[in-house]
Structure 1
């Protein structure tokens, strides 16, 4: 099956402040805030929703096509994509922009100050969607350019191509009607529990209303696992215990990779979520969203320790 991943490609630039922000912010001067934090250094990591999903899919021996947009500073990320054998035909380069980037400063109390530059993500990827063959295609629309998140579901729906809609942090950017239409007839709408509440608040829809619009609703619940709903029937899927929870960032994208892999193998949605749970555990054990690694033998052993034989 050909998997198409719509979403962002971004650099995560992470800085550590060896003190507490609160020691340098005067509460009575917050209205004229002007501060400078001297950090210990900067670590640059590869990220973005589409990049993260594609990365874990590659570890699962599944090559996907990324539909995204990047800027003039993309060379190092481009080398990485070629290293893993990704197709770059769906990636648009805008030479006048920088690749999307998050600038994250963390203090000793784990408080964070983040600046995000969308850069090239402000523009649609302009991929020729007619190249996608409905007979063996599966799409996922993850957070990225808003226009792509509106247009790509429409193409999949009109051409009867199964797709997963994953709005994530872009939920506030949609109007109520845009959001309703975007996940209409999706094979799966996937969110965490907080995002599900946001969708219901934005659209005015109940959970039952949403299930009338999609085939499956998957809600990730952090350390409690995930819930799969289909027309009122709910199935809970356990987590795979982590050796150490180092950084939960990126676990959701890794979960989606395992889910996509399972669906590409023809597994049920519930069984595909078990692959997702296994993949997510590797992500939380490492700092960064693309720093984990596993072989398929290691993955299978870890899966089977929790869920039994992988058929």
Structure 2
């Protein structure tokens, strides 16, 4: 069982010709609404790949009876939800321009419940975007912890990051988040990676690095048609954690992660085109060769 802690959200994705500069403006060419939230995306990705996922999240009074709840039921995601009846479920507003650059605004809504919630003790847990103090408490009680700061990085203090990193077994971050963490903590990226047994640094279409024991191994991204980059990192985490928990080695898990991510970017919406293990495996074989047996 992989527990995933963090946001459940509704994603509003906007297409714009260009992201405006300060005091500037632009016009919206497309507006679509999808299921989202970093933790919910990862839990959905794990479940779709055939893994067992438990989502620990907060939702508002608009969630019970919603299509989103039905979707989670269909996927078989177990849930421990903090219900805040007089709030809306968190909402994310994402703006994508013609060059593939993105700007995000996040309304916490019911996710404010994390700040005072009791932290569970979990055997295998991934800390996605959520309240920093809650993630610190979960990390301190977790047996095996993976962590990605996501868009909530700005909310973490130096002390928060140090406390989580001290209890982290796997760190996931893109290159922008790595730079932000290093700035907040006042350390170099090499020093950051040296503090965790294993780290994965993703670089969008430029691939990713698996870093462990001082060794860096490169995993190329799979070239596909790009419709929307939103949710690619979450799908990567879902693929990696599903494979790792299934007994695969870390490098194979990273290849599974990048393969899972390639499906998500082909279609708009974080949970719209999540692969099954079978469809992921077929694409894996096309680009990386035969998928080895677990433990090989």
- Is 2:48 the counterpart of 1:59? yes
Query: Equivalents in 1 of 2:46, 2:133: separation in Å?
Result: 25
Structure 1 residue 180 and structure 2 residue 162: aligned?
yes
The match for 2:187 among 205, 208, 214 is 205
Match of 1:10 in 2: 9
- The DSSP-based 3-state class of the residue aligned with 1:149 is helix
Q: Is the aligned partner of 1:146 residue 2:137? A: no
**Length-normalised TM-score, structure 1:** 0.84
Shift of 1:42: 4.9
Q: Residues 69 and 91 of structure 1 are in contact (CA less than 8 Å); yes or no, is this contact kept in structure 2?
A: yes
Distance 1:106 1:295 in 2: 27
Q: 1:223 to 1:106 in 2, by over 3 A?
A: closer
Distance 1:302 1:146, change over 3 A: same
Structure 2 vs 1, CA of residues 108 and 255 (structure 1 numbering), >3 Å: closer, same or farther?
closer
1:54-85 Cα shifts (integer Å, max 9, x gaps): 11111210120001101011132212111211
Counterparts of 1:32-181 in structure 2, within 5 Å, are 42-75=31-64, 76=66, 77-88=68-79, 90-104=80-94, 115-124=105-114, 126=117, 129-130=120-121, 132=122, 137-156=123-142, 161-181=143-163
User: Separation in 1 of the partners of 2:83 and 2:129?
Assistant: 18
Deviates more, 1:112-121 or 1:221-230: 112-121
Tell whether the 8 Å contact from 1:208 to 1:231 is kept in structure 2 after alignment: no
Q: Secondary structure at the match of 2:114?
A: coil
Instruction: Provide, for residues 66-115 of structure 1, a one-character-per-residue CA deviation record: whole Å limited to 9, x for no partner.
Output: 01101011132212111211112x11110011100023466788887754
1:280 alignment partner, SS class: helix
Deviations 1:233-287 (A, max 9, x none): 1111122221x11111110000000110111112221111011010000011011
Give the TM-score, by structure 2 length.
0.88
Quote how far apart the aligned CAs of 1:303 are.
Answer: 0.4
Tell me the C-alpha RMSD between the 2 structures.
Answer: 2.6
Unaligned runs of 5+ in 2: none
Contact preservation (8 Å) 2:237, 2:257: yes
Residue 206 of structure 1: how far off its partner (Å): 2.2
- Consecutive unaligned residues of structure 1, counting only runs of 5 or more, are none
Distance verdict in 2 for CA 1:292–1:36, change over 3 Å: closer
Change in CA separation of 1:108 and 1:177 when aligned onto 2, cut-off 3 Å:
closer
Match of 1:236 in 2: 218
SS at match of 1:124: helix
Match of 2:283 in 1: 302
1:129 CA displacement: 1.5
Aligned equivalents of 1:106, 1:52: Cα separation in 2: 19
